[in-house]
Structure formats: structure tokens, C-alpha cells
Amino acid sequence: MAWLRRVLGGFSALLRKHRVEQELDDELRAWLDISIEHKVRSGMPREHAIRAARVEMGSLEAVKDHTRDVGWEAQLESLWRDVRYAVRTLRQSPAFTATAVLTLALGIGANTAIFSVINAVMLRPLPVERPEELISLATGYPDNVEPVFSYAAYRQFAVDATHVADAIAASSVRRDAVTIDGPPEPIDHKWVSGNYFTTLGVPAAAGRTLLASDDRLPAGEPVAVLSDAYWARRFGRDPWVIGRSFRFKTTAFTIVGVAPRGFFGETGGEAPDIWMPLTTRPGAPSSVWKGHSTTWLGIVARLRSGITLAQARARLEHVYDGIRDGVAAGTESSEFRRNVLESRLLVSEASGGSSRLRGPLATPLMILMGLVGLVLVIACANVANLMLARAAIRRRETAVRLAIGAARLRVVRHGIAEALLLAAVGGLGGLLVASWGSSLLVTLVSGELPVSLDVSPDIRVLVFTMVVSCATAIVFGLLPAVRAARIDPLRALRVSGGSGGTVRMPLRRTLVVTQIAVSLVLLVVAGLFVRSLLHLKDIDLGFDPDRVLLFQVTPPADEQPMAMEDTLNVYGRLLAQAESVPGVSAASASFSGLFTRGTWGNAITVEGFVPRPGVTPRTLANSITPRYFDVMRIAVLAGRGFTDDDHDSAPKVAIVNQTFARQFLGDLDPVGTRVGLCSSDPCGSPPMMEIVGVTEDAKYVDLREEKQPMLYVPFTQIDQNLRQIEVRTAGAPASVAATLHRELAAVDRRLAIVAMVELRDQVNASILPERLIAMLSATFGLLALALAAVGLYGVIAYVTAQRTGEIGVRMALGANRRDVRRLVLRDTLRLVVVGVVIGIPAALTGARLLSSQLYQVAPDDPLAVSVGLVTLSVAALLAGYLPARRAAHVDPVVALRAE
């Protein structure tokens, strides 16, 4: 209980501070009075008595200080005094303070920004109840991981593993159109199991969420839940929206509720507008509900209480054994069957949900975190250097303080208070820099990927910033503070000029050398990433992605699926309309787009080609309109392209790419050979098409892909719908985008244009991680270089100023300006050389660790290293040249007189 009394006593003393002080004063005065009276009564003359009593008492202030120090609140108060003193001293040197705060704000801000994105992509738990209980399922095939399952597989998990976990299923978000009260409007929707909201523990913000009874076969009443953002955007938070309905394809859905604000589902980065029960999906063929031929559902499950991950895994794997057999039995492809039989179920913890971004962005973000950490090291070294310089200037002041009895601990404490204060202000500035920087990052990311990321600072980000700020304060503040306290007051005061003393400053030189070495590492790494990106950009795509606009059009809700004839008719009108817009040079349509996930692969049979036993020949395929090659600028190398004469009753034709020709026809002339698309396995005898042309190869899905065979067929001759319109523009696509959008929409009011993107953006999105890392590492490298240059300049300028006298003597003895410049530059060069000698091996070691992230660049790429070296040297010489020039203009007479 004594401690409690002490704590409370401290508080009451703090609250009644004035009275406590007053009482202490009174008590001391009483002591003196009684003491004097005592002495007078024992016969001492009054004046002597007064003096004696004073002497006995000693310093009144000292007694008070000691008495105050009894309570803990005194420590707090003295800390407060230190901080106030620090505020005063920092305000006296605004240039120093501003430089230090700016440096720290940039360093801490850059770190916080990267951490905010890491937090949003990887750390933030799903906004659901007890996210730590969630697990996610995937299938691991021998050479890839498949995150989606068939509906039948989901049902099996949900039913057979129900005593270990509650499984929910969700499709990925898709863009489509709904009709509410006027023309169709684009929305992002998601099909989810009926227990989706209840299992995640997400209550409705209005109305109700989905129920298990909404999701059954045969489908019940179609219902839908809106996201809060969509409710606000489309309906202005109108509470009467509950009960209204909208049409999605052929079906009318009733809105039954709104999800809570901030809830985006089980997959990070997605932002659906509408959730609908799986089984209400209109027009789905029966194969979606039976068998395993359509895999489209991600599965997340909540562990039942008391069940461990290992127990759940064992049970789920057992269920998967049954599913695997079903999948293997259901396929006709022997190749796929082999793959399936070797597959296994992957069960992983999923408190952050399943994130599409985590895979591609995790490694780049970690690398960036490391790089930005190095920037902070340089920033710390810079501030430490500034503080050391200031300590040198204030040597005399510190010496005086020590000489008149300040405790060394007090001097250290003051230094640390100053550092903490700088770090706190720097940290606040850092938060500003970070909020700006991280939203810039998100704009970069989501400009090309349709993702929404919440990077607003949460408690984790704030704690991170606070810890980083305190850590930096200790790193840059402790050393200078301890050194200041070690000053020998006698020596410091004796030295003339007050600021004299060590000119060699080994500590500050070490800091600068560290900065040079670390910034060289950052520059070399940035150089490697930039080179790697340039290599990626140099890859020959085989088509021209610039000035191409892509449109996705959804046919009228009540006419789906559209009859072939109508499709031809509608697309014919759309393309004609597009080509009539001024500024459009050509328009085409196709089944699959370039650099999208929705590719079409098919087994084939080629006349004269005998496959190895057990291997089914396969190719990518696409159905296109005649002008596709003109729009994409894919060169036709032999034969001809498609024309309007290749209509449905004309002889069936096809066009292949070079790889197709080489792979299946070897040295034969492909034109004239006949090929067929298999619709079963083994292939049998499909309708054959004659190859009429050969195009050059292109990249179809990804910049880094190997060359793949491709087979084009005219859309008129194949039962495959069109999903994308491509328009090549003469000028910048943005200038005609709005007109095009309007004109296309005007073709038929019942059509909805659900997406419009530039092909260039779609290509860029595929190398987003590489571009992110190249851009940011270059930014960090330059930031590091700037900080290091400032540090170098500071030290050289200071040393040179200290040597003014010496320089004056040299000049008086006949040295000319060039000699003086060389003297100072040699000093600079020495630091740079030492930094480089340390930095190069460090950079090479670091680069080797990153080599898996580089594309066609060796980790010791001579160009990257030399560009880094040259950049560093130029910056360093610039930093050294300014003091050198100043030194060269020293007037020896003035310099010597000042001595």
C-alpha cells in the first residue's frame, strides 16, 4: 500500500503545487527563526545568531531541491523542465531545428508510408468478428496453386467438415450491369454462400444480411445486400431502398439489406457493390452446380471453438480426398487427371482474409521496407551529425554548466530531451509525409489495378511511427549527449575561441562515411531495379499497346444469353459506330483480351502432326473480328488476315502465330494446313479449318511468359461470344474516350458499357510490382544521396571553417587558391573513397540477395554500379566544392587577424 500512497501523494502534490511550495517556504523560515531565537537565548548576539543560523541551514534552494526530489512527481517536473529548456534551445537555432525536423520527417514519413501499405495489404485483420479464427483453402497442384473450387466441392466441405469449421464460399468480384430504374448501370458484384455474413459475424447496417435459406437449390426468392459505399453513392443512404428491386440479367433481385460501413468482404483489395446468394445466379448452366468442371468459388472457413488449425486441416484433407476422386473421375483429359491426383489441399490461417494483392506485392513491399529503413539510417546519421556540430559550438556553454555544478546526467538528459523533442516533431511531420505518400502509392497501385486499399493510419501505424521516432531519437541523440557530458570543463574553457578543440572529429567522419556507403548501396540497388524494369519494358510485345481503348459491353438484361445472330448484329453496329467517330482509326472485337486472366486454351488436332503419346497438343485460341490485327498492330507475316468474306457459311479458316507453326508444323508451310479445335478428350474428329495466315508472336497474358502457340478464328465461324471491343485512336485515347463512350452507349439504350480502360494501362498493371519497386527505390536512393550530401557538406564546411587560420597561414606562405581548393577537396575525396570501399561490397552483397527480383540483370551489373558511383561522386564533389571555394577566397590577413 505504500506505493499507492506515494503515487497519490505525488498527484496531490502536483495538484496543490503552489500550496506545497508555500508550506515548505514557511517551514524553512520557521526553522531559521527558531534557530536564531535558540541561539540568542543561549547568549549569542542577534547579528551573529542570524549569520550562524544561515550558515547552518546552507543553501535554501538546495534544501528545497532535495526535499522536492523525494516525490516521483519531482522527476516528472524536472523532465518537463528539460523539455521546456530543449524547446528554448531549439528555438534559438531555427536553421538547425528546421533541418533536423525536415530530415526526420522525410525519413520517418517514408518509413511510415511503406508500413501503411504493408499494413493495409498484409497486416490489417478483416473487419469481421474474431478474424483470427478464419482459415482459407486452396488446391496445390504440382506446378501451381488454384484458389477456387467448384460449387460441389464447397458443398462437400461445408457439410462433411461442419464439426471442425463453418465454410463460406464467394466468387471473385465481377463487373456487370444492373437495371434499377433507368438505363443499365455498371456494378461490381459478388456471389456468396447464404451463411457468408452470419459466419463472418457481420451484422446488417440496415435491413438484414443474407440467410442460409436464401441460398438453396432450386433457387429461392432472389435477394441482394448492398455495400455501404454503393448505398451512399447510388441511393444517398435512402432507408427506403430496402424492398426495392433491380434486374440482373433475366432476374429481378430484391434488396434486403445494407452491409456495415467498411466491410468489403473476405478478400482484401476488393470493393463489391452488391452481394447475392450463389444459387440465385441467373442463367448458370447446370454444370455449375453439379460436378467439378467449373471452379469459381474461393472458400474461407471459421474454426469452431476449441478446434486447432491442425485438427481442422486433418479433417478438411480427409474431405478433400473424396473431392479429388470426384474431380479425377469427372475429367476426360488424362493430363489433367494426373495433375489432380497429385494435388493436395492447402489450409492456411486467414485473419487478414485472402488478398489478391498479398501474393504479388508481399516481396516488393518487404524489399521496399528494407530500403526505406536504410534511408532512415542515413537520416539519423545526418541529425546525429548536426547535433554533434551543435554540441561542438555549444562546448563552452556546456563546459560552463558543468563547471558551475550541473550534474553530468543532467547534461545527458537535456541532450536526450532535445533529441526526443526533435523526433516527436519529426514523427508528426512524418505522419503528414506518410499520409501524402501512402495515398500517392495507393493511387499508383489502384490506377491500374481495380483495388481499394485502406491506408488510413490505424493504431498499428501510429505505434509503428512512435516506436520508429523514439528509436531514431535514441540512435541520433544518445551519442552526442553522452559526448557532451564527457567534456572536461577546465580544458574546454581554457582553449581559445571557445569552440576549438578537435578538428579531426573521428565520430562525425565515421557518420559521414556510413552515409556515403549506405547511399551507395541504395543507389546501386535502385540502378539494378530500374535496369530490370527497362528490360521488361523493352520486351517486344508483338502488338502495340499505345492508343488502344478497351470497352466491355453487357447485352440487355432480358436478352441474355443472346442469340448468335443478335450478337453479330449488335457488335456489327457497335464497331461501325466506333469507326465513325472522328479520331478513331480502327475498331475490333474479340473473345479474350490481352493481358487479362480470361484466356481461352484449347486442345487441338493438326493435320500431319503426331503428338507424343500421352500429351494432348494445346494452344491458346481467340475469336476475333476482321480488323483485330489492324487495331492491335499484330503483323501478318504470311498469307492473309480475316475479311468480311469469312462469314458463317464460307469455308472455315484460321490464322496461327509463328510459335504455333514452328511447334506443330516444323518446316512445313502452315498456310493450307488444316486444324481442328477439340471439344472432347480424346479429340475425335472436330470440324477442320484451313490455316490462311501466319502472324508474328505476341505476349498474351504476361510480359515474362514464354512464347505460346496461338490460334485465331473468325468470330462468325465459331460458337464463342465476344466480350471486348478494341478501338485504336489516331491521337491520345483520352481525347476521344468520352465521345466513344457516348456513341457506343447510343447504339442501343439497353446495352451497358461496364468498363473502359486503355490497353497500355492493362499492360503496365502486369509489371506494377516491378514499376513500384523501381520507382520507389530510385526515389529512396536519391533521397538518401541528398541527405548524405548534406551531411558531407556539413562536415567539410565545418572542418574547413575550423582550418581558416591554417589556410590563412598557407596562403600567406605562398599557396594559391587552387592549392587551397585541392586541400579541401582532398579531404572530401578521402571520405568518399572510404565510403565507396565499404559501400561497393555491401551493395553487391545486398544485390545478390535481391537477384530473384531482377529481370535479365546480373546483381553485379557494371552499368548499375558505375551509374551509382558516378551519381554519388558528382553529389559528393558538389558538396565538397562549395566549402572548397569558400576556403579559396579566404583573405589571409583577415584569417590571421581572427586567430
- Cα within 13 Å of Cα(875), Cβ side: 23
Residue closer to other proteins (CB basis): 22 or 679: 22
Minimal distance, residue 35 CB to other proteins, in Å: 6
Q: What angle do CA 566, 572, 578 make, to 5 degrees?
A: 135
- CA-based radius of gyration for the chain: 38
Q: Which of 16, 19, 30, 643 is the binder for other proteins (CB under 8 A)?
A: 30
Minimal distance, residue 500 CB to other proteins, in Å: 37
Helix, coil or strand: residue 497: coil
User: Omega of the bond prior to 561 within 30 degrees of 0, cis?
Assistant: yes
Stretch that binds other proteins, among 61-69, 337-345, 533-541, 836-844 (CB under 8 A): 61-69
Q: Is 27 near other proteins (CB under 8 A)?
A: yes
Stretch that binds other proteins, among 64-72, 479-487, 675-683, 862-870 (CB under 8 A): 64-72
Q: Which of 56, 311, 281, 293 is nearest to 190 (CA)?
A: 281
Beta-carbon count within 10 A of 571 CB: 22
Residue closer to other proteins (CB basis): 24 or 328: 24
- Run of H or E including 118: helix 94-118
Q: Is 14 near other proteins (CB under 8 A)?
A: no
Tell me the C-alpha distance between 52 and 44, whole Å.
10
Stretch that binds other proteins, among 51-59, 283-291, 367-375, 409-417 (CB under 8 A): 51-59
Residue closer to other proteins (CB basis): 78 or 567: 78
Stretch that binds other proteins, among 35-43, 87-95, 296-304, 798-806 (CB under 8 A): 35-43
3-state secondary structure 254-284: EEEEECCCCCCCCCCCCCCCEEEEHHHCCCC
Q: Which of 44, 57, 877, 896 is the binder for other proteins (CB under 8 A)?
A: 57
Tell me the C-alpha distance between 724 and 551, whole Å.
6
Site string for other proteins, 179-208 (x = CB under 8 A): ------------------------------
Q: Which of 733, 831, 734 is nearest to 510 (CA)?
A: 831
Q: Is 21 near other proteins (CB under 8 A)?
A: no
45: its cell numbers: 548576539
Minimal distance, residue 66 CB to other proteins, in Å: 4
For residue 679, the Cα-to-chain-centroid distance in whole angstroms is 43
Minimal distance, residue 71 CB to other proteins, in Å: 6
Residue closer to other proteins (CB basis): 35 or 616: 35
Beta-carbon count within 10 A of 163 CB: 10
Minimal distance, residue 40 CB to other proteins, in Å: 11
3-state secondary structure 661-693: HHHHHCCCCCCCCEEEECCCCCCCCCCEEEEEE
Q: Is 16 near other proteins (CB under 8 A)?
A: no
Q: Which of 28, 284, 482, 809 is the binder for other proteins (CB under 8 A)?
A: 28
Q: Is 33 near other proteins (CB under 8 A)?
A: yes
Q: Is 2 near other proteins (CB under 8 A)?
A: yes
Residue 535 DSSP class: H
Q: Which of 732, 726, 736, 730 is nearest to 762 (CA)?
A: 726
Helix, coil or strand: residue 655: strand
Q: Is 488 near other proteins (CB under 8 A)?
A: no
Residue closer to other proteins (CB basis): 22 or 680: 22
Q: Which of 18, 47, 58, 685 is the binder for other proteins (CB under 8 A)?
A: 58
Stretch that binds other proteins, among 55-63, 501-509, 707-715, 837-845 (CB under 8 A): 55-63
Q: Which of 663, 677, 670, 571 is nearest to 621 (CA)?
A: 677
Residue closer to other proteins (CB basis): 42 or 92: 42
Q: Is 76 near other proteins (CB under 8 A)?
A: no
Tell me the C-alpha distance between 845 and 890, whole Å.
44
- 793 phi and psi, to 5 degrees? -60, -45
Q: Which of 14, 50, 52, 63 is the binder for other proteins (CB under 8 A)?
A: 63
Residue 185 DSSP class: E
| CA distances from residue 874 to 14, 735, 880 in whole angstroms, order as listed | 58, 42, 10
Please, are residues 75 and 396 in contact by the beta-carbon 8 Å criterion? Answer: no
How many residues of this chain bind other proteins (CB under 8 A)? 26
Residue closer to other proteins (CB basis): 73 or 758: 73
Residue closer to other proteins (CB basis): 23 or 899: 23
- Cα within 13 Å of Cα(714), Cβ side: 25
| CA distances from residue 405 to 70, 237, 408 in whole angstroms, order as listed | 20, 69, 9
Residue closer to other proteins (CB basis): 14 or 309: 14
Residue closer to other proteins (CB basis): 21 or 146: 21
Minimal distance, residue 76 CB to other proteins, in Å: 15
Helix runs in 599-732, H state only: 628-632, 658-665
Residue 255 DSSP class: E
Residue closer to other proteins (CB basis): 30 or 894: 30
Q: Which of 23, 342, 566, 705 is the binder for other proteins (CB under 8 A)?
A: 23
Place of cell 466513344: 740
Minimal distance, residue 57 CB to other proteins, in Å: 5
Q: Is 38 near other proteins (CB under 8 A)?
A: yes
Q: Where are the beta strands (DSSP E) in 607-647?
A: 618-624, 636-639
Give every CB contact of residue 814 below 8 A, 6+ residues apart in sequence.
Answer: none
Q: Which of 66, 216, 504, 848 is the binder for other proteins (CB under 8 A)?
A: 66
Residue closer to other proteins (CB basis): 28 or 568: 28
Q: Is 67 near other proteins (CB under 8 A)?
A: yes
Residue closer to other proteins (CB basis): 10 or 125: 10
Please, are residues 124 and 118 in contact by the beta-carbon 8 Å criterion? Answer: no
Stretch that binds other proteins, among 26-34, 81-89, 304-312, 619-627 (CB under 8 A): 26-34
Stretch that binds other proteins, among 53-61, 204-212, 502-510, 535-543 (CB under 8 A): 53-61
Q: Is 9 near other proteins (CB under 8 A)?
A: yes
Minimal distance, residue 31 CB to other proteins, in Å: 5
Stretch that binds other proteins, among 22-30, 184-192, 345-353, 397-405 (CB under 8 A): 22-30
Q: Which of 21, 25, 69, 332 is the binder for other proteins (CB under 8 A)?
A: 69
Applying the rule CB under 8 A, the residues between 262 and 301 that interact with other proteins are none
Q: Is 537 near other proteins (CB under 8 A)?
A: no
Dihedral sign computed on CA atoms, order 259, 263, 265, 266: negative
Residue closer to other proteins (CB basis): 72 or 141: 72
Q: Which of 25, 56, 342, 648 is the binder for other proteins (CB under 8 A)?
A: 56
- 620 phi and psi, to 5 degrees? -75, 150
Dihedral sign computed on CA atoms, order 83, 84, 85, 86: positive
> 187-217 burial, b if ≥16 CB within 10 A, otherwise e?
bbbbbbbbbbbebbebebbbbebbbeebbee
Q: Is 874 near other proteins (CB under 8 A)?
A: no
Please, are residues 123 and 359 in contact by the beta-carbon 8 Å criterion? Answer: no
Q: Which of 17, 21, 25, 26 is the binder for other proteins (CB under 8 A)?
A: 26
Q: Which of 21, 25, 37, 325 is the binder for other proteins (CB under 8 A)?
A: 37
206: its cell numbers: 440496415
Binding region for other proteins (CB under 8 A) = 2, 5-6, 9, 23-24, 26-28, 30-31, 33-35, 37-38, 56-58, 62-63, 66-67, 69-71
